[in-house]
A and B are shown apart, each in its own frame.
Chain A
Amino acid sequence: MNTISVRRKWEPYLWLLPSVLLMTVFVIFPILIVFKLSFSEISKAGVVGRFIGLENFRAAIADRAFAGVMLNTLYWVVSVVGISTLIGFIVAMTLNTRFRGRKIARSIVIFPWATSLVIQASIWNYIINFEYGNLNNVLLNLGFLKDAINWRASYQIEFIWECGVGIFVTVPFVTFCVLAGLQSIDDAYYEAATVDGAGFWKKLTLVTLPLVRPSLTVSTVLNIIYVFNSFPIIYTITKGAPANRTDTMVTYLYMLAFYDQRKGPATALSVIGFVLLCVVAGLYMMISMRKDEI
């Protein structure tokens, strides 16, 4: 790394100050408050009471729904992050080849990202409605269907839809991270590979993947965080019903806090989630960035 010689020892810290100040006050401070709350008794109305140790954590884990919700969260994060990374990669590869209208296609791919999640979720909720949804409308009127299909026949299917919407909104981000990586690859690598007689798959695995890996790592880490914390999709489409079967951790703790008015366990859950996320994202970064300088 290129470095300018620093005249005064404290100068770098001066440069960091605004950012540190901003984050400390508006992010770290609330985090500390949440940590404190997780060890306090909180009444139904929301009044914060005395210190009660780990009682909130015990109550949160003892709840019957907890195990199912954790499993859902796992499905949710793995499927949304995994599939959207795969699709995003394919889309980026496609958009990196030369064809007419590529500029337009690239602009269109950004759309889902540029639309608020609340709005996206409402639209999909409307689209997949059995009774009056637009998907049935379009398919019936185009002659693809005989009768309207109940797109939400069971909660498992509803959960799959929710994952689908999650993927839909996550793909653009991955696409653009990978696209950036692809564009930075020197054509010379491919030419060399062609001379060596490498086919499509060889080029993909030996040239493209290793060179795109840093951008994939970054997008995956950020996606794990964003997807884990994603809330509006599930809240709008099912609210976790029936009986927390479609809840992930974040929606569950929201329902716990503001519907069931059990804010103590809810805060404890958010701390658990934080720790989990730190471990998962940290491990992932350590494994995949071992060789790279951060």
Chain B
Amino acid sequence: MKAPTADKIRRRNVRALCLCLAALAALLALFTLPAYTFETALFTKKSGNTFVGDERYVQARAEVDEKAAAYAAHQPANTVAVAEEVTTRVNSKGETTSMVAFRVVLRQSKTAWDFIASGLSSGGLLLAALLCTASAMGLLFAGLPGTLSKTPLRLSRPRYLLRQASCVLALAALVCVGVFPLATTQMLERDLIARLGNPATPALEQLIGRAEAFLLGGMGGDQASELLAGVTYHSTVWLWLNLPALLLMLCGMIALGRESVTRTLSRGLLYLFVILLCVIILYPYYVMLITGFRSNAETTDMYFTNIFPTRWVWTNVPDIIHRGVVRFLGNSLLLSGGATLIALCCGIPAAYAMSRMRFRGKKTFLGFVIMSQMFAPIVLLVGISQLMNFLGLNDSILGLMLINAAFNQAFAIWLLRGTFVSISPEMEQAASIDGCSTVGALWRVLLPMAAPGIVTTLIFVFINSWNEYTISTVLISTPFKKPITVGITQFSSFNMIEWQYLFASALLATIPVVILFMFIEKQLVSGLTSGGVKG
């Protein structure tokens, strides 16, 4: 790359600074737009057997209007409304029935400033975000003078630190704004609405007081709790737009004095993509964790009251252990370990022959290997079970090991052969000359060199055996011999699915494999490189 000229750097910095300023302006503007809309049902009246215009209707309407007027007196204009809904039906006897429902509703929207002013806990986050942004910009301007006029290719140490600090502050602001809706929901749902019936504590009373002032304009009085229970609220798009604004500001700051804005942006997008990817991938595991430690009742909470368990039920773990999960895990380890060893013991010689020797029928053998993959084990259930019966291997883990090893032969041979091919045979030839037998050369020379490929094969076979389900279901009948995939089906019985146990065991079953994977990730990729690609 050509070294950028001083003029170019200056223009680049100006652009970055403009981005920061624009983001700041956007942020301030967004703060004055509605962040949340609140709808509070002040009064509801349903009148059955009522037709629009009849006596009952007039009476009900008058009552509702009176209530509405009383509420409207305490509130800003146009926030109190009366909604009327008429339902008319003909029933099975041919009679027409009608029901009228009246609702007096308080509709209002609150901006970020309102939240900050209300003294509610989540408002504090917005205040913090604002302070962070302000000080970030302040620090930026403190380091500014030299950056724009003079043009050093690299920022001087103090300026670099200032810029770094402002980046961190902007990031903190981003996090605060991101957490704000979560905190608001938590505060309103868990701290307030869910506890309205509970005995009052000072903290609760204070919260009720503030919420009442914030949401009802101080007219709640004795009814405050009742009215607050009827609050529904929704975040608006403006609230969420704060996040991209802050993100842009962050990008501007990073770009300042370092690299082009577009490059920073593309870098940012890369990180965003990776983070998004990780979030999506980790989401089911988060669900496992969250649900695995809920109480049975809370797993099927149809009102979605809590994003996290109200109480983390750690006893779910002893419960599932009591019901044999550790035993099943042990069986699975035994099964997968055994299957992997058998697959390797049979696969390595075959792969060796395929890669080092010339003989007739090589192509036939390869076709045979690939064809053996084409049938799903599930389709072969009957055949496999019959075979196992014949061999006397029914209901034994050894039988499962052999089956899993056999069904993974194709992959094992394919991978191992590729690995062996990529290793030059000269070393073995040298070993042979030194008096080593073929087996000795394979054992002492080739295998150590092929370690990555072998590790890869090992992982593949292990995972596949670990995850196998259907054959184990049919072959294993003794409870204490069941592998984990089969063992956990006891949690989804005929009359109840115990989600919490199911997921706690699922988590437990996933951990060993994930740890194995984490340790071996590097080996895996290099093994595939030598194995697969040149295959």
Q: Do chains A and B touch in the complex (CB under 8 A)?
A: yes
**CB-defined contacts of A234 to chain B, threshold 8 Å:** none
**CB-defined contacts of A17 to chain B, threshold 8 Å:** 349
Is A19 a contact partner of B274 (Cβ separation < 8 A)? no
Kindly state whether residue B189 has any CB partner on chain A within 8 Å.
yes
**CB-defined contacts of B470 to chain A, threshold 8 Å:** 231
Interface centre among B383, B409, B531 (most CB of A within 10 A): B383
Residue from B184, B291, B347, B509 in contact with A143 in the complex, judged by beta carbons closer than 8 Å: B184
Q: How far is the CA of A263 from the CA of B381 in the complex (A)?
A: 12
A26 in contact with B304 given A1-B421, A184-B533, A215-B532 (CB within 8 Å): no
**CB-defined contacts of B382 to chain A, threshold 8 Å:** 30, 33-34, 37, 263, 267
- Count B-side interface residues using an 8 Å CB cutoff: 113
Q: How far is the CA of A99 from the CA of B277 in the complex (A)?
A: 15
Residue from A2, A22, A120, A143 in contact with B425 in the complex, judged by beta carbons closer than 8 Å: A2
Kindly state whether residue B199 has any CB partner on chain A within 8 Å.
no
| Interface flags, B322-345, vs A, CB<8A=1, else 0 | 000000000000000000001001
**CB-defined contacts of A138 to chain B, threshold 8 Å:** 307
Is A123 a contact partner of B503 (Cβ separation < 8 A)? yes
Closest to B288 in A: A123
Is A118 a contact partner of B485 (Cβ separation < 8 A)? yes
Q: How far is the CA of A9 from the CA of B359 in the complex (A)?
A: 8
Is B535 a contact partner of A218 (Cβ separation < 8 A)? yes
Contacts of A133-165 to chain B: CB distance below 8 A: 134, 136-138, 140-144, 146, 148
Kindly state whether residue A68 has any CB partner on chain B within 8 Å.
no
Kindly state whether residue B526 has any CB partner on chain A within 8 Å.
yes
Kindly state whether residue A259 has any CB partner on chain B within 8 Å.
no
Give the bracket for the number of chain A residues in contact with chain B: 35 or more
Is A22 a contact partner of B409 (Cβ separation < 8 A)? yes
A123 in contact with B376 given A115-B513, A138-B307 (CB within 8 Å): no
Residue from B184, B281, B355, B383 in contact with A112 in the complex, judged by beta carbons closer than 8 Å: B281
Kindly state whether residue A253 has any CB partner on chain B within 8 Å.
yes
A23 in contact with B234 given A4-B425, A18-B345, A111-B514 (CB within 8 Å): no
Interface of A, secondary structure class, is helix
**CB-defined contacts of A6 to chain B, threshold 8 Å:** 357-359
CB of B493, distance to nearest CB on chain A (Å): 14
Closest to A123 in B: B284
Kindly state whether residue B213 has any CB partner on chain A within 8 Å.
no
**CB-defined contacts of A285 to chain B, threshold 8 Å:** 370
Is A253 a contact partner of B379 (Cβ separation < 8 A)? yes
CB of A110, distance to nearest CB on chain B (Å): 5
Q: How far is the CA of A119 from the CA of B282 in the complex (A)?
A: 14
Is B374 a contact partner of A225 (Cβ separation < 8 A)? yes
Interface of B, secondary structure class, is helix
Binds B, one of A49-57, A58-66, A71-79, A172-180: A172-180
Closest to A122 in B: B502
| Interface flags, A100-130, vs B, CB<8A=1, else 0 | 0101011111111111111110111011000
Is B282 a contact partner of A110 (Cβ separation < 8 A)? no
Kindly state whether residue A206 has any CB partner on chain B within 8 Å.
no
Contacts of B383-404 to chain A: CB distance below 8 A: 383-384, 386-387, 402-403
Contacts of B165-224 to chain A: CB distance below 8 A: 181-182, 184-185, 189
Is A15 a contact partner of B291 (Cβ separation < 8 A)? no
Interface centre among A107, A109, A116 (most CB of B within 10 A): A116
Is A109 a contact partner of B369 (Cβ separation < 8 A)? no
Kindly state whether residue B113 has any CB partner on chain A within 8 Å.
no
A108 in contact with B282 given A15-B350, A18-B346, A22-B405 (CB within 8 Å): yes
| Interface flags, B510-527, vs A, CB<8A=1, else 0 | 100110111001001111
Closest to A228 in B: B376
Is B379 a contact partner of A270 (Cβ separation < 8 A)? yes
Kindly state whether residue B71 has any CB partner on chain A within 8 Å.
no
Binding site for A on B (CB under 8 A): 181-182, 184-185, 189, 234-235, 239, 267, 270-271, 273-274, 277-278, 281-285, 287-288, 290-291, 299-302, 304, 306-307, 342, 345-347, 349-350, 352-359, 363, 365-366, 368-376, 378-380, 382-384, 386-387, 402-403, 405-407, 409, 411, 413-414, 421, 424-425, 428-429, 432, 438, 463, 466-467, 469-470, 484-485, 488, 492, 499, 502-503, 506, 509-510, 513-514, 516-518, 521, 524-529, 531-535
5 extra interface residue pairs, beta carbon distance < 8 Å, beyond A15-B350, A108-B282: A16-B349, A141-B185, A218-B535, A229-B379, A278-B374
29 A-B contact pairs sorted by A residue (CB < 8 Å): A1-B355, A4-B438, A16-B353, A17-B349, A18-B345, A20-B350, A22-B346, A22-B406, A34-B379, A37-B383, A105-B278, A110-B514, A114-B513, A114-B517, A115-B284, A119-B488, A119-B510, A123-B284, A126-B287, A132-B300, A132-B301, A132-B302, A141-B189, A141-B307, A143-B185, A181-B532, A183-B526, A215-B528, A215-B532
